[in-house]
Structure 1
Amino acid sequence: MSGGMGGAVVEVGGEALLLLPEKAVFWPAQKMLVVADIHFGKAAAFRSLGVPVPRGTTSENLAGLDALVAAYDVRHIMFLGDFLHARASHAGSTQAAMLAWRRRQSGLRLTLVRGNHDLHAGDPAAALGIELVDEPHALGPFAFCHHPDLDIGRYALAGHIHPVYVLATRFDALRLPCFVVGKTRMILPSFGAFTGGHAIRPEAGDAIWVTSGEAVHCVR
């Protein structure tokens, strides 16, 4: 079912959620934006190791959040782990950009469900005002997680895998970020601008919703 602006509405856990082309989920009842695997500072971490990668990914990620906050009247952002990529993500330029963004979005409630990269990178700066929790983090009918394979009694929203789905013809193939919507859990695509993806094999009962960046479509 279409959700407007290219999104698609799915009902899970007794709640309507909007799958967004920008690789995030909006929960209208809570005015909550759910984002997985943003990996702030990944490019900076690569550059610290001497790998020549583009600059500007932090600004791109923050601009993406700004656009969604404005479009959907978001009051709360739930980050499903891997907020920071590595200890090198605490680089001065990365932190300055994030703090400037936080000053612009001072009214937002931010929650981070710690992921595996967060354990190595360390917690975000206290000045960002992010509530830090461990998985599973229960709220309403949902358990907000980083890993999608936890045995829990609520419908899980998770990340970690960076799922992409391969659409193939006889002559070509296309890898698109996707939402994997199952009976007991949903796996979100990676929101980050420099994070890559893992081609998934759907399990029985999984619906696959791919995003082109402009619209979300169910392909399975």
Structure 2
Amino acid sequence: MRVNLQQENFIFDPSGVAFWESKRILLIADVHLGKIAHFRKHGSAVPQKAILNNFVQLKKVVDAYAPKKIYFLGDLFHSAFNMEFAYFKTWVQEQQADLVLVVGNHDIISPLHFENLGIVIKKEVCLEKFLLTHHPEEREGFLNICGHIHPGFRLRGMGRQHEKLACFFKSKHQLILPAFGTFTGKYLLQASKDDQIYVCTKTEVIPIPQKL
């Protein structure tokens, strides 16, 4: 879905990424690489092949949009250094785009590991009328694009059916991106009448009418 923000066109992808068309910038939040390996190490029955799901999805969106630059809006890696970093290193070496990590609260690995791969580390980034952060912020004159929250929305049917889906959550001063990681939860945000929600299905992004 193409959405206009601050007179700039962005594509909201079902994977949860946002693509800034004129700048060819791909924005990705909360990948949480290493989380599956972390849980497996501590006895959780998660199939090892699930580790590759994030990398398959990363390849898919990069191939689709061919960005010049990729900004990870925090929590790229979930925990301390583990085996998934080797997969990530291989993925990085295949990229043509410049890579920037806006540090999140889970990014506890030494920045040197990322910098040695050519990834630029930032606390925040100001690009024209946009402020890119991990935690939601408000700053006069900017639309804040961020992550951290893992926003979700619950759709309800007539027969008590319900489905909790990841969503893009747009308020007056912020756009909160869905968590990109395949092993992450969803937090149901309470929307006001001026907020806009775009839910992510497997194949499309759907705006939710404000009356719902």
Contact 1:114–1:132, Cα closer than 8 Å, also in 2: yes
Residue 218 of structure 1, CA deviation: 0.5
Tell me if the contact between 2:129 and 2:141 (Cα under 8 Å) persists in the aligned partners. no
Q: Is 1:9 matched up with 2:2?
A: yes
Q: CA deviation at 1:186?
A: 0.3
The 8 Å contact of residues 137 and 144 in structure 2, kept in 1 or not, is answered as no
Structure 1 residue aligned with 2:28:
35
* Greater share of residues in helix: 1
1:40-71: per-residue Cα shift (whole Å, max 9, x none)?
Answer: 00011112222222223442212212111111
Corresponding residue number in structure 2 for 1:211: 200
Percent same amino acid at aligned positions? 34
Which residue of structure 2 lines up, in the alignment, with residue 5 of structure 1? none
Instruction: Determine whether 1:18 maps to 2:11.
Output: yes
Pairs within 5 Å for 1:192-207: 192-207=181-196
Residue matched to 2:65: 72
Shift of 1:152: 4.7
Which residue is 1:153 aligned to?
Answer: 141
Determine if the alignment matches structure 1 residue 94 to structure 2 residue 111.
no
**3-state secondary structure, aligned to 1:30:** coil
- 1:113–1:145: 8 Å Cα contact kept in structure 2? yes
Q: Which runs of 4+ in 1 moved over 6 A?
A: none
Distance change in 2, residues 1:173/1:192 (3 Å) = same
Match of 1:111 among 89, 100, 116: 100
Unpaired stretches in structure 1, ≥5 consecutive residues: 1-7
| Gap runs ≥5 in structure 2 | none
Secondary structure of 1:98's aligned partner: helix
Distance 1:13 1:100, change over 3 A: same
Q: Match of 1:183, SS?
A: coil
Give the structure-1-normalised TM-score: 0.88
Cα shift at 1:132: 0.4
TM-superposed CA distance for 1:147, in Å, is 1.0
Asked if the contact 1:85–1:121 (Cα under 8 Å) also holds between the matched residues in 2, the reply is no
Please give the TM-score of this superposition, normalised by the length of structure 2: 0.91
Distance 2:189 2:146 in 1: 15
